[in-house]
Amino acid sequence: MIQIWTALITILVLKYLKAFAKYNWYLSNLVAFLRINLFVKIDLQK
């Protein structure tokens, strides 16, 4: 049951981001972009 709620919340957040994005994203492209950039390690000390 928790997986269903997590999926629904994730879709709502993605639709919110899509609505307020300056670029007209397709939802699948937005998900792919976030998936790629979510796991990129950035050194915050630089």
pLDDT single digits (tens) 2-34: 999 999 999 999 899 888 888 888 888 888 888
Average pLDDT over residues 33-38: 85
| C-beta separation of 21 from 30 below 8 A | yes
| C-beta separation of 18 from 30 below 8 A | yes
Locate the domains of the chain by residue range.
2-38
Residue 46 has pLDDT above 80, yes or no: no
| C-beta separation of 31 from 14 below 8 A | yes
pTM to 2 decimal places = 0.64
Cα distances (Å, whole numbers) of residue 5 to 8, 9, 24, 29, 33: 5, 6, 27, 22, 23
Q: What angle do CA 16, 7, 34 make, to 5 degrees?
A: 55
| 25 vs 18: CA distance, rounded Å | 6
Q: How confident is the model at residue 43 (pLDDT cuts 50, 70, 90)?
A: confident
